[in-house]
Structures are given as structure tokens and as C-alpha cells.
Amino acid sequence: MISSTIGIWNYWIVFCLMMIGLFLVIGRKNFLKKIVGLTIFQTSVFLLYITFGKIKGGTPPILNESIDTIYSNPLPHVLILTAIVVGVATTALGLSLVLRINSEYGTIEEDDISAQDLVDYHDDIETGKSVDLNFNQ
Amino acid sequence: MISELLINAFLVTIMLSIAIALIKTRTVIFTVILTSAYSLVAALMFITLDAVDVAFTEASVGAGISTILFLAAMAYLPKKEEESIRSEFIPALSCIILGGILIWCSYDLPEIGQLTAPIHQHIAPEYIKGSKEDIGIPNIVTSVLASYRGYDTFGETIVVFTAGVAVLALLEKKNAAKKNKSQPKQKIRKNA
């Protein structure tokens, strides 16, 4: 019983970590916190993959001389190596988007930004300016 | 065997507590530090799960470069996170329901470390067998990464290049906007 619980304990905690990451992304209104949530989610997915590749009593997949060595599965390791680097690239892109939003609005809170957009929209209507819905200018 | 799994369970529980602390904290610098600590503990986990290459990539890229990026961005951003006006009840509830479903499904997953699990049957044994004769590198992960699945790595470099170009374009626009930011806005006010 105990050993079988430990056998799937990793999965349970990894799923909890995924949900914490998802909550930070959809629940929090601060953009920096959303990106941190993405990072948490990513790392928990990496953990899930690497957990699948583990073999009891195995060694890291580096060849040695003895014949009866059991190697852990190298394929998830390769996939996750690629995913880590891509993850950092997306983090950098997200952070530069946040910086750009901050220089435009002076804040990175979602509530404040939508409030500012609403005020701008009403100002435009009052002054009779043609309303454009893309907020590029 | 059981001690290996116990160490694993312990480390993963530390990661859970760090993630809960991340939900609680509202200060940006603590958020960045906790994220870095989370990545380092993840790297330790990868070592106990036999993924040494992934461990040092995670420690250098995940805990190193990401933290540097976060710190560099932090310098230009507000230092405190505000409490939201809207309730966080619905996002929290949907996350809890989804997590419950996933944990319920986890009973169908194979236990950790079973040699008979489906993932170990298909192509990995051929990689392990062929690595020595085909490529001649003792590290199987390297030979799969660079040779058997070389196209993946090629795609990865394209993604990283695209991200770099996008970051440059965004930050370039930011500097340009800063230079002539005050001019057009005052003009509009005068006309109004």
C-alpha cells in the first residue's frame, strides 16, 4: 500500500503543481505573475515526462562496459532538453511584451489597463473623435 | 529502491511548498527568488530520476538565464503586486476541479520505474543498442539529440531565433516610443 502510494505520489504532486501554475495564469491579474505561472507549469510538465522515463535500479543513459546494465529511457530526456530551451525563449518574449505594455500604460495590472482603455474610449466619444478600437496610438 | 522513491517524494513536496509560497507572496523580488529556487529543486529531482543532462540544462538555463531575465525586466516594472478587485473564486474552483480529474486519472498510469511500462517498449531500446555502433558516442542523450532526432534540434534553433528577433523588435519599438512620446500626445490635447 505504502509503496504503491509512493509510486504515484510524484504524479499527484506534479498535477498539483500544474494546477498552481494554471491558477497563476488565469487567476492573477499581474502580468509578471502570469509569466511566472507559465514557468511553473512548464517545469511541472518536464517533471512528468522525466518521471515516465525512470526505471527502477536504472542508471543515467551513458554507456558503460558491463553488459547487464539497465539504462533509463533517454527519449524523454532529449525531448525535455529541447523544451527547456524553447521555454526560456518564450519567457524572454513574454517579458519583453510586459515591458512594452508597462512603457505604454505605466502599469502591468490587468484591471488598471482595462480601466484606462475604457477612459480613453469615453474621452474619444465626448470629443467627437472617430473611435478606433485598436489601441496602437 | 524504496529510498530512491522516498527522496523523490520529499523533493517534489518541497517544490509544492515553494509553489504555494509563490501564490501567497505579493512582492516581485520574492517571486523571482522563489522561481529560481523552484528550478534548482527541479534540477535536483532530475538527477534522482537519472536525467543528468536535463538536470544541468535546467540548473543553468532554467535557474540561471531565466532568473537573469526576470531580474532585468524587474528593474523597469512596479515592485509590488496589487490585490485584484475581482474575485479569484472561479479560476481557483476550475483549477481544483481539473486537478481532481487529473489525480483521479493518475490511477491508470503505470507506477514509477516499472520496466514493463509502455514507454520503455517501443523505440528506446533501439536507441540504446544502436548508439554505440551508429554514432559512437557513449552519451545516448547526445547521440539521439544530435543525430536520430536532429530535426527537432534544428526546429528548436529556429524557434529561439524567432523569439530573439521578436524581442529585439518589441524593445526597439519601446525605445522609439520613449523618444517621441511627449510630442504627439500634447498636440492632441491642444486640438481638443
pLDDT, tens digit, 9 for 90 and up, residues B65-104: 999 999 999 998 888 888 877 788 899 999 999 999 999 9
Q: Is residue A121's pLDDT more than 90?
A: no
Q: B183: pLDDT confidence band, cut at 50, 70 and 90?
A: very low
B 149-188 near A (Cβ less than 8 A): 149, 152-153, 155-156, 159-160, 163-164, 166-167, 170-171, 173-174, 177-178, 184
Of A39, A23, A33, A37, which is closest to residue A108 (Cα–Cα)?
A33
Of A11, A56, A76, which is closest to residue B113 (Cα–Cα)?
A56
Which residues of chain B are within 8 Å of residue A59 when distances are taken between CB atoms? 50
What CATH number is attached to the domain comprising A17? 1.10.287.3510
Q: Does the residue A20 lie in any domain?
A: yes
Q: Does the residue A136 lie in any domain?
A: no
- Count of all residues that appear for chain B in the document: 192
Amino acid at A131: V
A 48-67 near B (Cβ less than 8 A): 50-64
Identify the residue among A2, A5, A13 best suited for mutation to test binding to B, counting B beta carbons within 10 A and taking the highest: A13
Of A94, A96, A98, A104, which is closest to residue A137 (Cα–Cα)?
A104
Whole-number Cα distances in Å, B95 to A117, B59, B175: 29, 29, 39
CB contact under 8 A, A127 and B57: no
User: What is the model's pLDDT at position B173?
Assistant: 66
Q: How far is B152 from chain A (nearest CA, A)?
A: 8
Whole-number Cα distances in Å, B33 to A24, A86, B20, B66, B80: 16, 21, 14, 11, 14
Q: Does the residue A113 lie in any domain?
A: yes
Neighbours of A127 (CB within 10 A): 10
Contact in structure between B170 and A100 (CB atoms under 8 Å) = yes
Position with higher pLDDT, B188 vs A14: A14
Which residues of chain A are within 8 Å of residue B128 when distances are taken between CB atoms? 61, 71, 74
CB contact under 8 A, A26 and B22: no
Q: Does the residue A120 lie in any domain?
A: yes
Neighbours of B171 (CB within 10 A): 14
Q: Which domain holds residue A19?
A: 2-126
Amino acid at A61: P
Q: Does the residue A134 lie in any domain?
A: no
List, for residues B48-59, the tens digit of each pLDDT value: 888 899 999 999
Neighbours of A124 (CB within 10 A): 14
Q: Which three cell numbers stand for residue B69?
A: 531575465
Neighbours of A32 (CB within 10 A): 22
List, for residues A40-89, the tens digit of each pLDDT value: 999 999 999 999 888 888 888 888 877 778 888 889 999 999 999 999 99
CB contact under 8 A, B65 and A88: yes
Identify the residue among A22, A70, A78, A118 best suited for mutation to test binding to B, counting B beta carbons within 10 A and taking the highest: A78
CB contact under 8 A, B174 and A29: no
Q: Which helix (H) or strand (E) holds A90?
A: helix A74-105
List, for residues B126-140, the tens digit of each pLDDT value: 888 888 788 888 888
Phi-psi domain of A67 (left: phi exceeds 0; alpha: psi -120 through 50; beta: other): alpha
Q: Does the residue A137 lie in any domain?
A: no
Model pTM score: 0.85
Domain tally for chain A? 1
DSSP for B104-159 reads HHGGGSPPTB-TTSGGGTSSHHHHHHHIIIII--SBHHHHIIIIITHHHHHHHHHH
Q: Is residue B116's pLDDT more than 50?
A: yes
Q: B186: pLDDT confidence band, cut at 50, 70 and 90?
A: very low
